[in-house]
Structure 1
Amino acid sequence: MSARSYSLLGLWPLLRKWRRPVLGALLLAIIGSVLVALLLPNIYKSTAVFYPTNPETIDPDRLVEERSNGNLVPSLTPGGRAEDLDRIITIGQSQPIAELIIKRFHLHEHYKLGQPGDELADQYVLDEFSSNLSIVHNERDAIELTFQDKDKVLAAQVVNAMTQAIDSFNQQLTLENRRKIIDLYRERANFLEHEHSQIRDSLIRFRRRYGIYGMQMESRYLAKEIVETETALRQAEGEVAAGGGSAAKVAGLRRALRGLTQADGGNALNLENFTAGNDELTTLAIRFQDVQGRLVRARGAYETARLAISGKISSIYVVQKAYPAARKSKPIRWLIVVGSVVVTFVLAVVFIALLEAYRRNASSELAATYPD
């Protein structure tokens, strides 16, 4: 016995036969869907678009850069790195951000889901808030933060508040590390300042001890005086040996030569002290200049980094702020009505076809049982 075949054309007689119930069902579907569509509140959607920055928080020297006009400007640039995008999305979806916004905008009262402090009410409000929130990474490597609500002004306010909260939380993630780095810069500057002071005191002490004060051509002056004094001494000694001259002049020249050559001779500048202290003072002077240059650079780096961090540079670049929507995003009422009518019609056709098939099979079985 071959199976009965069905076609769409075969449904037409059934629809004509059952046209009244079908039309009644469609009419009820239209009325019901229209009532439901009219009772549904309008939902408005607001969206903000922003880029995360790529802050070089581990190196304060890179927090600012100097332009050709001498102005210091932040060196933070918009970043589309995966880690920056993931960090922003994670912060936006975190519970602390949600609880902050729920408390700020009194969403318990807005959603009419109980009072704050009740665990069930808090969870219901959190679930409702999360279902209305969307934060995604779009194809242009930007972050789109969207919130929908029946109050279009509230939706825009929530999005802008969340943008600010995400920026604040993102800065807080690295604030402690940046403070530690600033402390390191300050400690380095203080250490170099202490070293600078010690080397300067050592230089003063050694100059007084050896009589070397950094006069220009000091060594040439000392050598010239020694040679001239020694020459004059030799001449005076020769005159005395020849039976002339003055013994007092010779004694005076000898004393002058002793003062120029020996530390106990009485001269502040003498060959013995100059030779003993020249190398040591030269090394100290070189070290003093090096520490002085490093100290100047360290102070500049510390002040620059402190200025950059204390400026509270935003960690995101907002391309588009959220504004109250001019048009609703849902519900699409005509689609609800059309969809309800189509679904009702399909279900009615299926029900009629099954009912007719059941009756036909029942009649065939009855005829086979009682052939007369």
Structure 2
Amino acid sequence: MTQNLKPDSAFSSTQLVAFIYKWRRPIQLLTGIAFVLSVIFSSPFFITPKYLSTVILFPTSSNSISKALLTERVDAKQDILQFGEDEQVEQMLQILSSNRIRDRIVEKYDLFGHYNIRTDERYRYTKLYREYESNIKFRRTEYMGVKISVMDKDAEYAANIANDIADLLDSTKSEMQHERARKALEIVENQYLTLRDQVQKMEDSLTVLRHFGVHDYETQAEMMNQQLAIEIARGNYEGVKALEKKMEMLSTYGGPYVSLRDQLEHEKKQLSQIKAKYEEAKVDAQEVLPQKFVVSRAYQAEKKSYPVRWLIVLIASLGTFFLTIVIILIIDNIEQFRDEKKKLNGSSHRSNRSKLTTKGEEPATTMNPEQTKLQSSAMQAQPVKETTQKADKKENIKQKSRLVLSKSQNKMENYFSNLNLLKLVIKWKFHLLVILALAFIAGAVFSGPTFIKPKYKSVAIVYPSNIAPYSDESETEQMLQWFNSQDIKDSIIALFELDKNWGIDKDYKYYYSTMMYLYGKNIKVSKTMYESVMIEVTDYDNQRACAIANTLIELYNRKIRRIHRDKYKEVVDAYQHMLSWKLHKIDSVENALLQIRTEFGIVDYNNQTKEVARGFLRTVDGAGNANINTKEVARLKENIERYGGEYMITNGRLYDLMDEYALLSKEYDIAKKEYEKEFSYTNVVSAPYPADKKSSPIRWLIVFISVVATFLVALFFISLLENHKLREELKKAL
């Protein structure tokens, strides 16, 4: 059987031009119709025009007002006139995308009504946020700035919304910072007021000591010793007794006076430092400094930016032009296929008829004697001829099988060309339609709430704060580690009874492994491109998903606070122990000095030594030289000689201990402040909210994948079936 099928040949440019010229009229007609329709349907009557307004901002480099204005700056990044860098740009983009700004804009401009979204709709917030994100965009410029783009059907609305978003940046960022600053102010204010009360009490105690005649211990001791030596030299025993009484009073209250005075001096220094911090915290908590440089503000656009009619018309016309050519090519190829099929059917008919005619017209002949002899001789040679024919027949069968296989393979390859695939689909179109319809229905049914329970997603975006990074980790990476800690996971599972929610029995052999797998699948904490942390929680209940996200943030704050307190509790306890020990040492040294002062009369070693030397050597000027109390001078001289060194060592030791005590007290106050502080360790950029629309399953995607997969599998089995039929036909034909 002969075949007239020709292999597909690719178009050359000349053939393509000739083809287009041949079908020029339908191509021109359809392209013209597409042009007219695109002009009509891109008009304001069908597509509402939108106007674009933009604002360009630069972030500032400084965040703290007090560090920028009230303290001595050594870092250029704290300069209030310095432009921000990458980190500040990323933070600005994240804050602009926050729900705080979005909710204020929605409320101020009534975007529900402006976008024609009914407030009683089931998915009103999903539609609103989708419309908001499609019309309001934020991006980084190539010059390290931030561009706010707002599109709206009202040009004035677009400009006002863009400018208001830029203005809300300051208030939103200030609110976030003030939440922290107010906590810091409370802590510093408590420390400041407590220390101020302590200073006041010390001053009151010094006032009481002054009533006992102790005003300046060192000066008074020096003057009394000088006067005592003079009175002794004069022999004025009444004056000596009066001075000794005053010196006894001075020795009794001098030590406490010196301790209080030195401690008061130290506490006043601390009070001055804490007061400066208090003023800084007060400024940070109450004042607002602009957080941006506005390069260009939005203005009311005069010309619409959307839709771009010429672009719509161009794309529609070109698309129709090329689509028309493709459709005409397909139709033309189908027609050629039908013509070739008819020719093949006609040639096979003619071949069958010729075979029938040949068989029916064989003449019946009679043999004469000569022919009989020839036939008998031919029959004798027949065995040799039959052997040769059998060998030829086997060879022919092998060649036919190879030919069938070759033609079958060629046909199979042709099935996977574009045209032959299309022919295959058209041939089996009814079967495919039924199969695809069943796949569509099955996908729609089995992706419904009856079979797949819908889940809702709540998202929160936070920045870390008040945590110091460990090793080479950034604060964001450290925050991710804390969120993924095992105790937070266990707390979330216990608080919300997630095992019951997920249907996992506690007696199940792999209970914990399954819970951790489902936790990681439904609760995800990841790092965003702006160095913030995104918390995504999916659950069957939208309220529970939102509550889990909020609880995660709260548990994170508690965990960091607990860890910090545990560490600082160790420091506070250590300093308390050291302070108690130092105070005990100071009391011991004070008692030793008090004994030396009262029993041996050594109050001021340096001055007393000078005066005793003058009395002993009788170098006192004036008439008192003859009236020197040599007995008292000798007694004091003996006491100084015996106990003077001990007094000097003990007195020096007392001052050293007091300095050490003051230093420890300062460190103790810092540790206690860190231990008692109630800081928050997150800045919430976008708080979670209960979703009004499910996030999974995505039914249209499930149905689409089901239909496409079914189509491909069905096409594969159809091609196998067609290949089998083709082999059978070729075997019969050969």
1:31 Cα offset (Å): 0.9
- Check whether the contact 2:66–2:284 (CA below 8 A) recurs between aligned residues: no
- When residues 278 and 362 of structure 1 are mapped into structure 2, their CA distance, relative to the original with a 3 A threshold, is same
1:67 Cα offset (Å): 7.9
Question: In the alignment, does 2:221 pair up with 1:219?
Answer: yes
Q: Which amino acid aligns with 2:96?
A: G
* Matching residue of 1:89: 93
* Matching residue of 2:70: 65
* Matching residue of 2:311: 335
* Matching residue of 1:14: 19
Alignment of 1:156-175 (within 5 A): 156-175=159-178
1:78 Cα offset (Å): 4.2
* Matching residue of 1:284: 260
- For 1:19 and 1:181, the matched residues in 2 are separated by 79
Alignment of 1:39-78 (within 5 A): 39=44, 40-53=47-60, 62=67, 64-65=69-70, 75=80, 78=83
User: TM-score, normalization: structure 1?
Assistant: 0.79
- Which of the pair has the greater relative contact order for Cα pairs under 8 Å at 6+ separation? 1
* Matching residue of 1:135: 138
- Check whether the contact 2:228–2:240 (CA below 8 A) recurs between aligned residues: yes
Secondary structure, counterpart of 2:48 in structure 1: coil
Residues 18-52 of structure 1: CA deviation (Å, up to 9, x unaligned): 22222211221111111122233332222222244
- For 2:198 and 2:284, the matched residues in 1 are separated by 27
- For 2:300 and 2:261, the matched residues in 1 are separated by 69
* Matching residue of 1:244: none
1:216 Cα offset (Å): 8.8
Match of 1:38 among 14, 33, 43: 43
* Matching residue of 1:151: 154
- When residues 335 and 288 of structure 1 are mapped into structure 2, their CA distance, relative to the original with a 3 A threshold, is same
Residues 162-207 of structure 1: CA deviation (Å, up to 9, x unaligned): 2233432322223222111112222222122112111112212223
Residues 115-172 of structure 1: CA deviation (Å, up to 9, x unaligned): x343334432332122112122334433322111122221111122222334323222
- When residues 207 and 317 of structure 1 are mapped into structure 2, their CA distance, relative to the original with a 3 A threshold, is same
- For 2:80 and 2:316, the matched residues in 1 are separated by 57
Q: What RMSD, in angstroms, separates the aligned Cα atoms of the two structures?
A: 3.0
Percent of aligned positions with the same letter in both sequences? Answer: 21
Secondary structure, counterpart of 1:38 in structure 2: coil
Secondary structure, counterpart of 2:187 in structure 1: helix
Q: Which amino acid aligns with 1:106?
A: D
Question: In the alignment, does 2:247 pair up with 1:271?
Answer: yes
- For 1:300 and 1:94, the matched residues in 2 are separated by 34
1:55 Cα offset (Å): 5.4
Choose 88-97 or 338-347, whichever is displaced more. Answer: 88-97
Question: In the alignment, does 2:296 pair up with 1:320?
Answer: yes
Match of 1:229 among 205, 211, 231: 231
Question: In the alignment, does 2:243 pair up with 1:260?
Answer: yes
- For 1:29 and 1:331, the matched residues in 2 are separated by 17
* Matching residue of 2:105: 101
- For 1:299 and 1:293, the matched residues in 2 are separated by 10
* Matching residue of 2:330: 354
- When residues 123 and 215 of structure 1 are mapped into structure 2, their CA distance, relative to the original with a 3 A threshold, is closer
- For 2:66 and 2:310, the matched residues in 1 are separated by 60
- For 2:128 and 2:63, the matched residues in 1 are separated by 38
- When residues 13 and 219 of structure 1 are mapped into structure 2, their CA distance, relative to the original with a 3 A threshold, is closer
Secondary structure, counterpart of 1:119 in structure 2: coil
Residues 279-335 of structure 1: CA deviation (Å, up to 9, x unaligned): 432332222222233323433432343234322223344333222234432222122
- Check whether the contact 1:51–1:80 (CA below 8 A) recurs between aligned residues: no
- Check whether the contact 2:66–2:283 (CA below 8 A) recurs between aligned residues: no
Count the aligned residue pairs.
337
- For 1:75 and 1:279, the matched residues in 2 are separated by 51
Secondary structure, counterpart of 2:14 in structure 1: coil
1:56 Cα offset (Å): 5.1
1:96 Cα offset (Å): 4.4
1:85 Cα offset (Å): 4.2
- When residues 32 and 213 of structure 1 are mapped into structure 2, their CA distance, relative to the original with a 3 A threshold, is same
- For 1:111 and 1:359, the matched residues in 2 are separated by 51
* Matching residue of 1:366: 342
* Matching residue of 2:191: 188
User: TM-score, normalization: structure 2?
Assistant: 0.42
- For 2:146 and 2:309, the matched residues in 1 are separated by 30
* Matching residue of 2:209: 206
Residues 238-258 of structure 1: CA deviation (Å, up to 9, x unaligned): xxxxxxxxxxxxxxx322221
Q: Which amino acid aligns with 1:12?
A: V
- For 1:160 and 1:91, the matched residues in 2 are separated by 15
- For 2:27 and 2:185, the matched residues in 1 are separated by 79
The structure having more radius of gyration, on CA atoms, is 2
Task: Structure 1: state its 5+ residue gaps.
Answer: 234-252, 264-269
Match of 1:309 among 285, 295, 316: 285
- When residues 274 and 327 of structure 1 are mapped into structure 2, their CA distance, relative to the original with a 3 A threshold, is same
Choose 296-305 or 281-290, whichever is displaced more. Answer: 296-305
